[in-house]
Amino acid sequence: MDKIKVLHVIAYSHYPERFYSLLEEMSKFFDIYVLCSDFHTFQALSNYMPSRIYWIPSLNVGEFLSLKNTIFLFPNDLSRLLESLKVDIIHIHTHFFLSNYQVVKYAKRLKIPTMLDVQGLIENKNIFVDFSQNVYIRSSLLKSLIYNVNGIRFVSAYDLLYMKKLYEKVNEKSKIIPNYVEIDKYYISEKTPFSVIWHGRLVRKKRIDYIIKAISELYSEYKISELKFYLVGYGPEYERLMRIAKKHNIIGRIFYKPYLRTRELISLLAKMEVIPYTSLYEGNPYSLLEAAACGVYPVGFKTPGTYETIRLLGGKLVNDKAVSELAAAISEIFSKGFNSNFFRKKVEEYFSPEKILSKLRNFYQEIISTV
């Protein structure tokens, strides 16, 4: 049986090496090509798959609103590219880039099936943010994609339920298919006692300041002087987080690494005991899946997306913004101990490539058959 030929339309990747690793796993199931709208990501991915990646200049929503860096795609070039590739389906990974609307428009004209990923929607967190998101979803941007793609993949049940409130017919062409991790690349090493890690982009919605405050409580209230907190990642929140750490007198106790290659990150995760997650909202975060695959205990706030993933992984949940509850939960994990293999097995059960990519293949086939 021939592999389904898939064109992945991506906007950007903060970690191109990591994204390629996921594509490499996908290539066992599908014939993969990539269309990228961010030139830096395109350059990085070109090192891994030079004959299978294409670049189109694009414009993201933020740039559109600010009228900066406005580079428009020539429609005829895109149309010719889609015609020449002759893919079975186009998989669009985000709805925030205007090039995606052009891709869907020409794919529809050429009768090429399309599928959209939706993940990480917000609800009841902030009146202004909620209102802004609803305006965006009901506007011509995301609305156009929802109505014109042939299938929609949600990585969490929360996101699908939220979208159904706005568009009842979404359910008719949607499936919940979570993310996956390449489980065979991850492993468990001897654990470093009293170790905590967080890794990812240092952005406001991750609310890493709550983790820093919980770490401070573990030092001051629980007297865990051996505690080690590893913060891995980069982003606009770095300076603010360091000020908060200094205020709580723990800046000298943070082991900060702005970037680790995949092998280095896995080697560190394999030795860690706990990963706290405090995001305002999430889709189905890879960082939690990666940590659990290395036997790291997931603990976090009961917030959209996060609670679904932690619940399936068998981790511990506390109330949103409850820093003292988070600190108490981490302290209890340290004192009672745990079986690292338990979390790895949960990843194998729910988030392995075999399970997730088989579901994705079935969904692709279902979409293709309807066009």
**Residues 12 and 161 both lie in one domain:** yes
**Residues 143 and 195 both lie in one domain:** no
**Residues 259 and 330 both lie in one domain:** yes
Look at residue 179 and give its three-state secondary structure.
coil
**Residues 10 and 101 both lie in one domain:** yes
Is residue 188 a contact partner of residue 343, using CB atoms and an 8 Å limit?
A: no
**Residues 296 and 363 both lie in one domain:** no
Is residue 309 a contact partner of residue 263, using CB atoms and an 8 Å limit?
A: no
**Residues 241 and 365 both lie in one domain:** no
**Residues 250 and 307 both lie in one domain:** yes
Total structural domains in the chain? 2
What is the CATH number for 96? Answer: 3.40.50.2000
**Residues 273 and 165 both lie in one domain:** no
Look at residue 232 and give its three-state secondary structure.
strand
**Residues 174 and 252 both lie in one domain:** no
- How far apart are the C-alpha atoms of 16 and 6, rounded to whole Å? 19
Written as one letter, the residue type at 34 is: V
The backbone torsions φ and ψ at residue 147, rounded to the nearest 5 degrees and listed phi first, read: -80, -25
**Residues 357 and 219 both lie in one domain:** no
Task: Please give the torsion angle defined by the CA atoms of residues 93, 136, 174 and 148, in that order, rounded to the nearest 10 degrees.
Answer: -80
**pLDDT tens, the chain, 371 aa long:** 689 999 999 877 778 889 999 999 999 999 999 998 778 888 889 999 988 998 876 544 443 333 333 334 444 578 888 999 999 999 999 876 677 888 898 899 999 999 999 887 766 556 666 667 667 666 656 788 888 999 999 999 988 988 888 788 898 999 999 999 999 999 999 999 999 999 999 999 999 999 999 999 999 999 999 999 999 999 999 999 999 999 999 999 899 999 999 999 999 999 999 999 999 989 999 999 999 999 999 999 999 889 999 999 999 999 999 999 999 999 999 999 999 999 999 999 999 999 999 999 999 999 999 98
Per the structure, the complete domain to which residue 232 belongs is given by 183-350
Neighbours of 301 (CB within 10 A): 23
Look at residue 31 and give its three-state secondary structure.
strand
**Residues 346 and 357 both lie in one domain:** no
Residue where the block lists tokens 């509850």:
325
Q: How far is CA 165 from CA 136, 168, 350, in A?
A: 14, 6, 27
**Residues 104 and 83 both lie in one domain:** yes
